[in-house]
Amino acid sequence: MENKHETKLSYSFVGEPATDTVRWFVEGIHNQMQNRGHEFHESPKDDTGLIFNLVDSDNARPYRRKSQSVFIVSILEGKEPNGHILETTYPHLLKNISNLLIYHIKNQQGLCSYFVTPEQGYPHVILRDGEVEEYFKNAYDRIAPLACSRFVINNEFIPDLPDELAAGTEKTRQLYYAGRKLDEMDLLPTVIKIEQFLSEDALRQLWRLYRVGGLSYGNLSVRNDEKTFWMSASGVDKSNLQTVGEHIHLVKGYDRDKNAILVSIPKHIEQPVRVSVDAIEHWMVYTENPGVGAIIHAHCWVDDSTTKMNGHTVAFTKTSYPCGTVELGEDTASVIRNAPDPARVVVCQKNHGIVVTGRDLKDIFDRIDSGAIRIVKQIEMT
Ligand SMILES: [Zn+2]
């Protein structure tokens, strides 16, 4: 499955293992990394791409990145959670400002390791009957696609949005109503309120790193014309998408050389917020499929057998890539491209959420409202 992740990484470990399990894990994963030909750095250098940060459950110990492109995996052993797994684990992911948290739990059944992502994915790997090799292969497969994927972080803002568009259009009003509708349907949930346990400083860091604003997950967009589309901005409240250049952006392209999304903004906006991280994915889908007029993304799932029975295409991505990466975009775009009708697909993004395409926004909500696409809250973790 991982053939396409042949990118060679350089990696390093920081911190001390707080428990024997963590020490054992470090050795095992180090072996896997060596076997796959990745380059080990005794201590982190400026160009080390992957840092395994050994933390403990009592005190956060975020590793200070030298560059935004460093991928940080925090590792700890903790107690068995009482409530939802994310309530216990997600705070550790955030407090240690990591891209991935590996949370080990030891109980009577043995060892269970959760792989918690900013997208609130939490698949797990279990150590079965001493099958150590199998366990570490699985663990490696959870880490490598994430660590090798490429974020499209940059936005290039071009102050050339014509006044008649800057004032908002029928399409931007549709986006406003669609955002409200997603909110009413409770499809923009956060499992936990991250503001409760993070300082202002930590929130700002998170914001810079993976644009998690704590307001809502998910995003939505609508085609403007052949080449451009309107999309929700990053981290804004999707139930109140009112102002162009602030809550809603016009995306007009992607610059491969600069690895930047091109955003057309009104002249008067001085410090625009970025467009949603998934703009790269939406850009690919609109560019390839002229029939697609709108896209929504929410952190929920569908009852795929009912939805398929109702004659709707449900397709699945096979790898869990982070939001806002070229790889997630390509994976999703290829699933849509290969569907019988690319303008009417429900894509279940592995361990993450759904992407629904439509001829327009109404077309998407008609299918959801009629129950043809049956939404379920609980995302499958595999
Ligand atoms: Zn998402």
SS3 readout for 227-286 = CCEEEEECCCCHHHCCCECCCEEEEEEEECCCCEEEEECCCCCCCCCCECCCHHHHHHHH
Task: Please check whether residue 381 lies inside any domain of the structure.
Answer: no
Number of folded domains that form the chain: 2
Q: What's the residue count for the chain? A: 382
Ligand 1 centroid–CA 378 distance in Å is 14
Task: Please check whether residue 382 lies inside any domain of the structure.
Answer: no
Q: What is the residue range of 266's domain?
A: 154-376
List the structure tokens of 300. 């929920």
Ligand 1 centroid–CA 347 distance in Å is 12
Ligand 1 centroid–CA 377 distance in Å is 14
Residues 165 and 139 in one domain: no
Residues 25 and 75 in one domain: yes
Residues 39 and 78 in one domain: yes
Whether 29 shows a pLDDT value over 80: the answer reads yes
Give tens-digit pLDDT for 7-28. Answer: 899 999 999 999 999 999 999 9
Matching residue, tokens 């014309």: 225
The better pLDDT of the pair 190, 256 is held by: 256
Tell me what pLDDT residue 195 has: 64
Ligand 1 centroid–CA 250 distance in Å is 20
Ligand 1 centroid–CA 104 distance in Å is 25
Ligand 1 centroid–CA 323 distance in Å is 6
Domain boundary among 101, 117, 148: 148
- Cα separation of 118 and 109, whole Å? 27
Ligand 1 centroid–CA 353 distance in Å is 6
Task: Please check whether residue 165 lies inside any domain of the structure.
Answer: yes
Given a contact cutoff of 8 angstroms between Cβ atoms, the answer to whether 185 and 324 are in contact is: no
What CATH number is attached to the domain comprising 256?
Answer: 3.40.225.10
Ligand 1 centroid–CA 138 distance in Å is 23
Alpha helices in 112-213 (DSSP H): 132-148, 163-166, 170-184, 200-210
Given a contact cutoff of 8 angstroms between Cβ atoms, the answer to whether 210 and 90 are in contact is: no
- Cα separation of 167 and 177, whole Å? 16
Residues 205 and 281 in one domain: yes
Tell me what pLDDT residue 22 has: 97
Ligand 1 centroid–CA 189 distance in Å is 11
Ligand 1 centroid–CA 352 distance in Å is 6
Tell me what pLDDT residue 3 has: 43
Residues 143 and 158 in one domain: no
Domain boundary among 129, 148, 167: 148
Residues in contact with 8: Cβ distance below 8 Å, sequence separation at least 6, in sequence order: 37, 38, 39
Ligand 1 centroid–CA 192 distance in Å is 15
Domain boundary among 95, 118, 148: 148
Residues 86 and 142 in one domain: yes
Neighbours of ion ligand 1 (CB under 5 A): 323, 353
What CATH number is attached to the domain comprising 60?
Answer: 3.40.50.10300
Tell me what pLDDT residue 359 has: 97
Q: Quick one: which H or E segment has residue 189?
A: none
What's at 251, amino acid-wise? V
Residues 118 and 168 in one domain: no
Task: Please check whether residue 326 lies inside any domain of the structure.
Answer: yes
Whether 216 shows a pLDDT value over 60: the answer reads no
Ligand 1 centroid–CA 34 distance in Å is 32
Task: Please check whether residue 346 lies inside any domain of the structure.
Answer: yes
Ligand 1 centroid–CA 354 distance in Å is 8
Strand 345-349 relative to strand 313-316, pairing: parallel
What's at 61, amino acid-wise? R
Give tens-digit pLDDT for 114-161. Answer: 999 888 889 999 998 889 999 999 999 999 999 988 887 789 999 999
Ligand 1 centroid–CA 121 distance in Å is 10
Ligand 1 centroid–CA 37 distance in Å is 31
What is the average per-residue pLDDT within 186-214?
65
Ligand 1 centroid–CA 262 distance in Å is 21
Given a contact cutoff of 8 angstroms between Cβ atoms, the answer to whether 217 and 239 are in contact is: no
- Cα separation of 259 and 324, whole Å? 12
Strand 110-116 relative to strand 124-127, pairing: antiparallel
Ligand 1 centroid–CA 27 distance in Å is 33
What is the average per-residue pLDDT within 174-179?
96
Residues in contact with 156: Cβ distance below 8 Å, sequence separation at least 6, in sequence order: 255, 258, 260, 261, 262, 263
Ligand 1 centroid–CA 243 distance in Å is 22
Give tens-digit pLDDT for 246-292. Answer: 999 999 999 999 989 999 999 988 888 889 989 999 999 999 999 99
- Cα separation of 76 and 54, whole Å? 6
The better pLDDT of the pair 345, 321 is held by: 345
Ligand 1 centroid–CA 379 distance in Å is 12
Give tens-digit pLDDT for 343-355. Answer: 999 999 999 999 9
List the structure tokens of 43. 């201590």
User: What's the DSSP call for residue 151?
Assistant: B
Ligand 1 centroid–CA 374 distance in Å is 19
Residues 82 and 169 in one domain: no
Residues 41 and 190 in one domain: no
Task: Please check whether residue 200 lies inside any domain of the structure.
Answer: yes
